[in-house]
Structure 1
Amino acid sequence: MSIREIPAAAVTDAVEALCIEANTSLPVDVKAALDAAEAAEPWPLAKETLGLLQQNLCVAKEKNLPICQDTGMACVFIELGQDVHIDGDLNAAVNEGVRRGYEKAYLRKSITADPLQRVNTGDNTPAFLTVHLVPGSGCKITVAPKGAGSENMSRLAMLKPADGVEGVKKFVLDTVEQAGANP
């Protein structure tokens, strides 16, 4: 068995490109699901909203702009083969890729390094990095931007198993009601 060497610079380059792609291109399957949802939607307001999303996608593609203004936190998922050695600092390579990608594509930089200090880092780092060791000599990198606007009205609860599906529905409806007209 031989160990595959991957330069940290290659990880940086890949993360940079993926940050841009993830914020400016919608995967084909997601676009197809939106098309199907709009075509099948019976409620006029919901159908109009889906239509506006479609218009936004067209404008973003035409002008090479982000799909959403909230380009959020760069969540980077790496499936790293057990027979791979990254030549350099993986964490630093990922953060440099995020820094470059967000700068190059003029993406919104909205991350704080310390949630209590609330000081924007100005370059959208640190990234949220998850690494899974897998068999083999591959290295698969996925970037998924996570917008944080929805977090403003989030809630967390622990339901009892006996609450079942009805308990989940009640929790969701109560949460929406508490948020009110402040989406």
Structure 2
Amino acid sequence: MRIIQAEKITSLVAALCIEAAHNLPPNQIKLLKRVASSEKGLPANLLKLILKNAETARKDLYPLCQDTGTAVVFLEIGQNVFIDGDVNKAVDAGVRKGFKEGYLRKSIVSCPLFKRENTTDNTPAVLHISFVKGDKIKVKVLLKGGGAENTSRLKMFAPADGKKEISDFIVQTVKEAGAKACPPLTLGVGIGGDFEQCAFLAKKALTRKSKNRNKFYAAFEEELLSGVNALKIGPQGLGGKTTALAVYIETAPCHMASLPVAVNVCCHSHRFKEGEI
């Protein structure tokens, strides 16, 4: 049994919050550069500005966006690990530390309906915990902007519905989002589970870096990407071939009477970092 002090989680979460806010993942930069070379005119110039913004943020430690987002934290805890301390408090302490030391905007309000008072430290985080084999802890931090999150959708389909109905729903979600979600987008899609698990799967899909291992779903990801890009909303909603950079699908078994589908929309500033203890 390996003993890990909760303070180590705090330190890593803080570092990942700062890193995610200032430095786009390498695969995101690669995707942006690839589509920038395929566009012309205004769309190409907009993508170059997005890349310039990313480089300036990385070099000078400016936040990639003024909306530094909700901190969504995924912990994968090894079964041979004993954490000495309160995990939930450790994660929130890390978000608090990272947002303070990184001079990041605090966007979380304590009451969703009435007073809407700012918690002043961007906590609480949205925390997802899973247990895996081994004696390590993997920490993933996704900073999720409010504008893109507001355009996300979930629908309970009939079991008789198929790829076409699901595809139409996903493409329509992007069409309704338009420029509000700051394209080019990354889309996380959850299919299956129940109402709550489906939404989680869509969020988890945004932590992926590559195609689905299942050939059927990998092909569906490509079909959806083509369908979304056919909308020609383009970078920042001003037209072009690139409305989305990638589509990632996560699935789970579901009840025979259900077929839930969720779309979690992420803007061009897809801020995600991970580390390990």
TM-score calculated relative to the size of structure 1: 0.86
Q: Give the Cα–Cα distance (whole angstroms) in 2 for the partners of residues 127 and 100 of structure 1.
A: 12
CA distance in 2, matches of 1:8, 1:182: 39
> For residue 102 of structure 2, what is the aligned residue in structure 1?
105
Q: Residue 40 of structure 1: CA displacement?
A: 1.8
Secondary structure of the residue aligned to 2:154 is coil
Instruction: Choose between structure 1 and 2: higher strand proportion.
Output: 2
Q: Which moved more, 1:168-177 or 1:113-122?
A: 168-177
Secondary structure at 2:55 match in 1: helix
| Higher alpha-carbon deviation: 162-171 or 121-130 | 162-171
| Cα distance per residue 1:33-78 (max 9 Å; x no partner) | 111111122x533222211211211221232111122211111111
Q: Which amino acid aligns with 1:29?
A: N
Structure 2 partner of 1:124 = 122
Question: Counterparts of 2:46 and 2:161 in 1: how far apart (Å)?
Answer: 33
| Bigger radius of gyration | 1
Aligned residue number for residue 29 of structure 1: 27
| Aligned residue in 2 for 1:158 | 156
The aligned counterpart of 1:77 is 74
Q: Which amino acid aligns with 1:148?
A: G
| Counterpart AA for 2:139 | I
Aligned to 1:61: 58
Q: Which amino acid aligns with 2:52?
A: Q
- How far, CA to CA, are the matches of 2:109 and 2:145 in structure 1? 13
Contact kept in structure 1, 2:147 and 2:180, CA below 8 Å: no
Q: Secondary structure at the match of 2:94?
A: helix
What is the deviation of 1:176? 5.3
Q: Give the drift of 1:179.
A: 5.4
- The alpha-carbon distance between structure 1 residues 20 and 180, as it changes in their structure 2 partners (threshold 3 A), is closer
Equivalences, count: 180
Question: Structure 1: which 5+ runs fail to align?
Answer: none
Structure with more of its chain in helix, by fraction = 1
Of 50, 75, 78, the residue aligned with 2:47 is: 50
**Runs of 4+ deviating beyond 4 Å:** 172-183
The unaligned stretches of length 5 or more in structure 2 are 182-277
Distance 2:45 2:161 in 1: 35
Structure 2 length as normaliser, TM-score? 0.59
Going from structure 1 to structure 2, the CA distance change for 1:172 and 1:132 (only over 3 Å counts) comes to closer
CA RMSD between the two structures: 2.2
Q: Using the TM superposition, give the Cα deviation of residue 175 of structure 1 relative to its aligned residue in structure 2, in angstroms.
A: 4.3
Deviations 1:91-130 (A, max 9, x none): 0011001001001111111012332342221100000111
Partner Cα distance (1:27, 1:176) in 2: 23
Q: 1:168 to 1:99 in 2, by over 3 A?
A: same
Residues 65, 181 of structure 1: CA spacing in aligned structure 2 closer, same or farther, 3 A cutoff?
A: closer
Show CA shifts across 1:1-33 (max 9, x none).
Answer: xx1111111111111111101111112222111
Matches within 5 A, 1:158-177: 158-160=156-158, 162-172=160-170, 174-175=172-173
**156-165 or 119-128, which moves further after superposition?**
156-165
